[in-house]
Amino acid sequence: MDAPIKWKVSFLRQVIAAPGPVTFPAVHESQEWHWFLDMKRDGYVDGEPGTTKEPPLNVITFDPVIPDCFVNVVATKEGKKFVDVYDSKTTWKGIWKTYHIPILLGIFSIIGAIITYFLIHAYFP
């Protein structure tokens, strides 16, 4: 099952805002676990399964270690691009960032047409 786009974007924003690699706690085989694996498969994040529990020193245990988090999670270039594309379609700031040149050209062309109209009628009545 694919992760919802809003969850992907909010998770990627948190990872991008972090100063370094982060640890993402998720219960093994839970929905968030599968969502993370989906994002990893899509190439938006990198990270490997790990555990937050430290085994006792000098004790040999034969119990399997079940991962309960992802460690060294970082956003890839594709993940950052995914967030930029999402923002460019859904927020005013993103729309302005993407389309500011055509918007400004349209505004200046309308202003230029109005000024040209008045100049023509002022000097060539």
Q: What is the pLDDT of residues 83-112, one digit of tens each?
A: 988 988 888 888 888 888 999 999 999 999
> Could you tell me the pLDDT band of residue 20, with boundaries at 50, 70 and 90?
confident
- Exposed/middle/buried for residue 109 (C-beta within 10 Å: 0-12, 13-18, 19+): exposed
Sign of CA dihedral 36, 39, 44, 47: positive
Q: Please tell me whether the overall predicted TM-score, pTM, comes out greater than 0.85 for this model.
A: no
Question: What local confidence, expressed as pLDDT, does residue 112 receive?
Answer: 96
**What is the chain's mean pLDDT, rounded?**
85
User: What's the one-letter identity of residue 93?
Assistant: K
Query: Distance (Å, rounded) from C-alpha 49 to C-alpha 51?
Result: 7
116 vs 26, higher pLDDT? 116
